[in-house]
Amino acid sequence: MLELKFVVRTPSNKPDLTEVRYDCPCGCKPRARFKKGTNEVGHEHCCCGIVHFAGDSAETHLKSYLDERSAQGMDKEVEGYQFKTLDMDSPEGAKVAIAYAVPNISKKHEEAGHVHSQGA
Ligand SMILES: [Zn+2]
Ligand SMILES: [Zn+2]
């Protein structure tokens, strides 16, 4: 599956946050932020369908987020996801849990924001 290269950094103007970002193949630069030293979890759902979560129990949050969407009939067009988790170190040396899901069929970058009619 697609391997994403994440960067863990502290945003220069937000020293109390940790940011996890990557360069998405679609051209976007999605980022997830959470507050240091808390169990907050940040996420971004890219226009191409890739979702990443960063922070405590990132994997659990990622899965419940996608379960919730599929319960609402969303994301059928991507035909499922492949999941991956990893740990990285923050600039302060803290462990940062990262989880992401790559759709089996990517959405096109240009289709961002389009609302398609919902099938039954
Ligand atoms: Zn994009
Ligand atoms: Zn993307």
Q: Counting every residue, how long is the chain?
A: 120
Q: Residue 65 falls within a domain, yes or no?
A: yes
Residue 82 is assigned to a structural domain of this protein: yes
Span 80-111, pLDDT tens digits: 999 999 999 999 999 999 999 999 999 887 65
CA of 72 relative to ligand 2 center, distance in Å: 22
Q: What are the residues whose beta carbon lies below 5 Å from ligand 1 (ion)? A: 26, 28, 47, 109
Mean pLDDT calculated for residue range 9-36 = 97
Q: Provide the domain limits for residue 64.
A: 6-111
CA of 26 to the centre of ligand 2 (A): 4
d(C-alpha 21, C-alpha 11), whole Å: 11
Average pLDDT rounded to a whole number, residues 31-48: 97
Asked whether residue 118 is assigned to any structural domain, the reply reads no
Radius of gyration of the chain from its Cα atoms, rounded to whole angstroms: 15
Structural domain includes residue 119: no
How far does residue 78's CA lie from ligand 2's centre (Å)?
A: 13
Does the residue 1 lie in any domain?
Answer: no
AA identity, residue 113 = G
In a domain? residue 117? no
**Number of the ligand closest to the Cα of 106:** 2
Task: Supply 40's token pair.
Answer: 């907050």
Ligand 2 mean position, distance from CA 84 (Å): 16
Q: What's the pLDDT score for residue 111? A: 55
Residue 46 pLDDT greater than 70, yes or no? yes
Residue 119, pLDDT score: 47
* Residue 53 CB partners (closer than 8 Å, separation 6+): 32, 41, 42, 43, 59, 61, 62, 65, 98, 99, 100
User: Could you give the CA distance from residue 7 to residue 111 in angstroms, rounded to a whole number?
Assistant: 26
Q: How many domains does the chain have?
A: 1
- pLDDT value at 71 more than 80: yes
The Å distance, Cα 119 to ligand 2 centre, comes to: 24
Does residue 56 sit within a domain? yes
Question: How confident is the model at residue 109, as a pLDDT?
Answer: 77
CA of 73 to the centre of ligand 1 (A): 22
Asked if the structure places residue 18 within a domain, the reply is yes
